[in-house]
Structure 1
């Protein structure tokens, strides 16, 4: 047993050294460790037993101890006050859709009610279409193709009940139609071009059986007369799985309807086509155009043409154009070839195609002719993230929202001539971000030619000399979610004469190939770069992890303890899940586990950074015992007694977490450990 523990660097000495000004860590319960020759055993295994009253008691004592220490940090209360002000400030955000010169968008009132507005793009005149009642929220809204109506998903927040209502935009009156059987995960509906009917996904009769089917509802008719069109249970000749979700796409000047099937988490779609005058309810003879093996990620209908985003040849994507008079995918022509930039979205306007691509964590907007010729990159106001790109097939130009890490979302129009103009649908409050500068960096990932996007945020006029606390965080995701986005709460950190660095790491598009270790190499490369280039030092570099199911922060602490002054996590994954504990381990197994398992990689006598670990009950892939074992081991292993290791959990009502108060705790802790003036431990 001793030999096995020595191989893993774990010594079953559970004594806890005294901290300096903040006292002793709560003692671990005494446990008897027995040798189990067929399994990997460690002296902290008993902390996995959440039903054990001694383990629960220890977690409660650790939580109380940590909360007492955090409450003594000066500057924490002022930080919380500022966070509350920033959270209460409204910034432009959400959907923005333009139809026939009318812009539809939502705002939030001071009492947290939502308003749906229609705005005349030519005159800027606004009309309030809907004000939600207390206890309601606005799910989504979809204007009709002529702008005469808008379908609105109203959510009863208490019971999470969805109701699809129809509003006439001319007088803001609500029709009697109340579609309360809409699938709760719906994000849009489709309209018949003459605005007399909508196509919506209806929830299945049995909850969880499947994701429902698309039905047609004629405005003013009874729900009992709605007709099923396509989806689960509609036709025996056309079968769908439980994870398939179907949405309908229509276009003002097109005689066709397109049914797009989303297959679970796969990005590859199936597409079906039908002429609108050939709809026959469940007997509709849909023609299948595309299957998942064709690698089509998106499609846009425009008159007799269909534009397709294909990743068949290259994962970054190309645009195909198909004449629907010959509705065969083999007849499609490639009009925008794939490049090194990832193609994320596209819209079809009267004058051009507007294509949203991404490079090194930032958006680009490309304009081409409708046949893909005369490609031109438009100059955006700043490096940032485009969202809500939309256009009207009968109008020149496109509308979009642009934001950045230090710039709140604003609405812009790409004019026919290529100029970009702020249309001022959303206005950014002057709360301090105009005093924040940004610097966009691109570094090379070690061992490859892959570029890593890194953004620095700092107060204007600050000299980046390495003498200020620097908080390094990581943003990851696929598609739009991996790009730089605005967060007003960041200002509370930056106002402390501190710097923030954000590294952007795309997630693997293939869900099955993703790993909890994804992002570790990029994260460490960014940290090393910031130190080597003197943007910071190991005494000033701190880090924070908020996304669950990832192991990179625990790995960074375990592998590179000298790199950081402090680390904070609200979702620590310190061990692989499902490792198969009954398997006998060979020497190679032990070596592999020690290198890939951050917990097993901890070593006695190392100067580990300060750590504040919060654990939530019920977070997928991040069980509480992972955090408790990692903290117990870290408290015993570190020789850096000036760096506290704190742990708290909401398990068994040990602590009631409040998001803003927790963020104030986290940042006050990190600023204290970075030696920032105004943040110290009070008696």
Structure 2
């Protein structure tokens, strides 16, 4: 779940004259009639507490269980039947398609003397990888994953270039699954070598020092039919030599005494060392092993899981790390240190500052340190000994990404964007510090028509929480504005102001968009994160509820005009919020959410999340989980907000059984007339790799659902 979560997509156009639909308030949509859902008399005993689980059968894999598959078909029939009757939907999908249709560029990078970048012409289902000799030369298509499937559901999911520029290892993702198959291309012939690595998950291959093979982590092959549900255990590190079969790969590193450990590989740029970072959950607390590639044995450098030690680069035997450990105690806002593996000497390079340090990269002989100040990006440049050089200047408050490169680089590249500013790609000259604009997205939207502000509000316990609010200029604070509040609040992941076509469309429709920076996230360092974890998780829901109350109190909206949205851990957030305060919201969009907090650790990657959530195996943590678990806290005869749950059949991050069980229970308990629906995408996963067509269709469904339930009248001529 720590890998970033996205939202999904799908549906039909409305056969209805758009002009008549926009001329007046649309007619009410007929009520949904839900399918009957069978129950089973299943209970579990948790530390003396008996807990009923009448929808346990919905945990079964939809691809393997015909009863579950039939339930999915019946629910989709109801959901799509309801959504296609919403008169605004056709106009919304048309406008979303228009807005989405612009060239999208990734940040360029240089490998082996050539430049590479990702680009989407506008409505391509998947981004295409291009290459060019210089920044001015004509780009050539290197890999076009749109040719890999008719429906666009097979994606390019990662790249690893050999240091000599001769080979490219690339990942293939099918139907949104976390499983990856890695292949190798000869960059001189542009043909695949025939090498193939399977059962790779949460891992990217790394070329060995002489570019003859790849280090990578893989799990044992799961049992047939268990690929998308079984726990992921016993990852091992192998060396695959080009031109050989995967079955012949050399086992490099394993810890059979710790089957829950996972491993990432780094070969230092000078080819001197192989570094393995071991992890066992979502918390950035790592052990670090290394060996000299001259033939040395494995050495234990960081021998516990107490702190973050993220390998940055090396200078000979000096290893640079981003860490939250201080010389005596903690450095929760993080700092950069070196550890000399030859002498054991530790040296502070960049001290802990007043803002959280979220990432560091080495380019040439410079360190680019990325900070967050109230959830907006700041980047500072240092020499390798920690001498401050300069700040990177940005055009306003927003989010910057990039700043990659090699020891011999003279330049680096980055992207900058905000809620009302489409992504802009810059070249940064390392010698002068000058940024040159290379490309700016040409979106059919005028940023001058919108305004973005950052506000601060008090949560239930008095904690000061930031929130971004974006909308059209000239908004009247009269409590009548349809408003969408978004949140996440978990896994040390910060929410920062970035451009989104779907959010831009929502604001163009006349909606207010608000994004709250809740505890549990990474906006203010480890203390902020821990304040929203385990026994403190209720703080996250309190922060979100307080954000809603602030928007109402300040006149942005009202209970009748307020919708909430979140995905993955944010889906849990939405589910918990509507069970705790069903009176506060008119509509809810929980996506791919963790809804059964007592059993999440029994499936696929769920065991990693114990770091943030705790586990029902622990009596005290069980009590906290049971108190807010959305599935278990739905109550009979309560009028819940209109809810559109979204998930996908191939989600092997948060298995769809979470959403299935929550939807079934919500439909059974709900006493109001507002629709409570579930939309189940096919051949899609947790979000990554989802085709553009599916994304647009799903957002059209969600925005139409909100427009219908929040009483939104679209601007005249919208979508025409």
CA RMSD of superposed structures (Å)? 4.8
After superposition, residues 165-564 of structure 1 pair within 5 angstroms as 165-168=185-188, 173-174=189-190, 177-181=193-197, 184-185=200-201, 186-190=203-207, 192=209, 196-201=211-216, 203=218, 210-215=234-239, 217=241, 228=250, 230-232=252-254, 241=259, 243-251=261-269, 254=270, 256-265=272-281, 266-276=283-293, 278-279=294-295, 284-293=296-305, 295-304=307-316, 305-312=318-325, 313-324=330-341, 326-328=342-344, 331-374=345-388, 376-396=390-410, 398-416=412-430, 419=433, 421-424=435-438, 426-432=439-445, 434=447, 437-446=450-459, 450-463=463-476, 465-478=478-491, 482-505=495-518, 507=520, 513=534, 519-547=540-568, 550-564=571-585
- The DSSP-based 3-state class of the residue aligned with 1:490 is helix
Give the corresponding residue for 1:116. Answer: 129
Task: Give the Å deviation of 1:678.
Answer: 4.4
Q: Deviations for 1:94-122, whole angstroms, at most 9, x for unmatched residues?
A: x642357743222346665764333456x
Flag the 1:61–1:138 CA change in 2: closer, same or farther, 3 A. Answer: closer
CA contact (8 A) 2:199 2:221 kept: no
Separation (CA, whole Å) in 1 of partners of 2:625 and 2:126? 53
Give the corresponding residue for 2:89. Answer: 76
CA contact (8 A) 1:352 1:397 kept: no
Separation (CA, whole Å) in 1 of partners of 2:144 and 2:585? 47
Give the corresponding residue for 2:669. Answer: 633
Q: Deviations for 1:604-644, whole angstroms, at most 9, x for unmatched residues?
A: 5x77544444576685372523222223322x2x4xx6xx2
After superposition, residues 567-606 of structure 1 pair within 5 angstroms as 567-571=588-592, 576-577=597-598, 600=633, 602=635
Separation (CA, whole Å) in 2 of partners of 1:311 and 1:272? 18
CA contact (8 A) 1:140 1:188 kept: no
Separation (CA, whole Å) in 2 of partners of 1:161 and 1:27? 38
Separation (CA, whole Å) in 1 of partners of 2:216 and 2:668? 50
Task: Give the Å deviation of 1:319.
Answer: 0.6
CA contact (8 A) 1:344 1:479 kept: no
- The DSSP-based 3-state class of the residue aligned with 1:371 is coil
Larger radius of gyration: 1
Task: Give the Å deviation of 1:551.
Answer: 3.7
Task: Give the Å deviation of 1:179.
Answer: 2.7
Give the corresponding residue for 1:645. Answer: 675
Give the corresponding residue for 1:163. Answer: 183
Flag the 1:350–1:562 CA change in 2: closer, same or farther, 3 A. Answer: same
Separation (CA, whole Å) in 2 of partners of 1:275 and 1:532? 61
Flag the 1:576–1:188 CA change in 2: closer, same or farther, 3 A. Answer: closer
Separation (CA, whole Å) in 2 of partners of 1:111 and 1:57? 32
After superposition, residues 48-127 of structure 1 pair within 5 angstroms as 67-87=80-100, 89-93=102-106, 96-99=108-111, 102-108=114-120, 112=125, 115-119=128-132, 124-127=136-139
Which structure exhibits the higher relative contact order, with contacts defined as CA atoms closer than 8 Å and separated by 6 or more residues?
2
- The DSSP-based 3-state class of the residue aligned with 2:96 is helix
Separation (CA, whole Å) in 2 of partners of 1:56 and 1:139? 28
Flag the 1:536–1:176 CA change in 2: closer, same or farther, 3 A. Answer: closer
Flag the 1:275–1:226 CA change in 2: closer, same or farther, 3 A. Answer: farther
State whether structure 2 residue 169 is matched by structure 1 residue 152. Answer: yes
Q: How many residues are treated as equivalent by the alignment?
A: 616
After superposition, residues 42-53 of structure 1 pair within 5 angstroms as none
CA contact (8 A) 1:342 1:357 kept: yes
Task: Give the Å deviation of 1:501.
Answer: 1.1
Task: Give the Å deviation of 1:497.
Answer: 1.6
Q: Give the unaligned 5+ runs of structure 2.
A: 1-26, 149-153, 223-231, 522-528, 601-615, 617-621, 684-692
Flag the 1:65–1:273 CA change in 2: closer, same or farther, 3 A. Answer: closer
Task: Give the Å deviation of 1:79.
Answer: 0.9
Separation (CA, whole Å) in 1 of partners of 2:80 and 2:251? 57
Flag the 1:341–1:226 CA change in 2: closer, same or farther, 3 A. Answer: farther
- The DSSP-based 3-state class of the residue aligned with 2:197 is coil
Give the corresponding residue for 1:6. Answer: none
Flag the 1:673–1:167 CA change in 2: closer, same or farther, 3 A. Answer: same
Separation (CA, whole Å) in 1 of partners of 2:239 and 2:37? 60
CA contact (8 A) 2:487 2:573 kept: no
Flag the 1:535–1:228 CA change in 2: closer, same or farther, 3 A. Answer: same
Flag the 1:386–1:600 CA change in 2: closer, same or farther, 3 A. Answer: same
Task: Give the Å deviation of 1:332.
Answer: 1.0
Separation (CA, whole Å) in 2 of partners of 1:299 and 1:287? 15
Flag the 1:554–1:155 CA change in 2: closer, same or farther, 3 A. Answer: closer
Q: Deviations for 1:489-524, whole angstroms, at most 9, x for unmatched residues?
A: 223322212221122336466798388756312211
Separation (CA, whole Å) in 2 of partners of 1:183 and 1:593? 34
Bigger mean CA deviation after superposition, 450-459 or 239-248 = 239-248
Task: Give the Å deviation of 1:366.
Answer: 1.4
CA contact (8 A) 2:76 2:679 kept: yes
Task: Give the Å deviation of 1:467.
Answer: 3.4
After superposition, residues 132-143 of structure 1 pair within 5 angstroms as 132=144, 134-135=147-148, 137-143=155-161
CA contact (8 A) 2:312 2:319 kept: yes
- The DSSP-based 3-state class of the residue aligned with 2:559 is coil
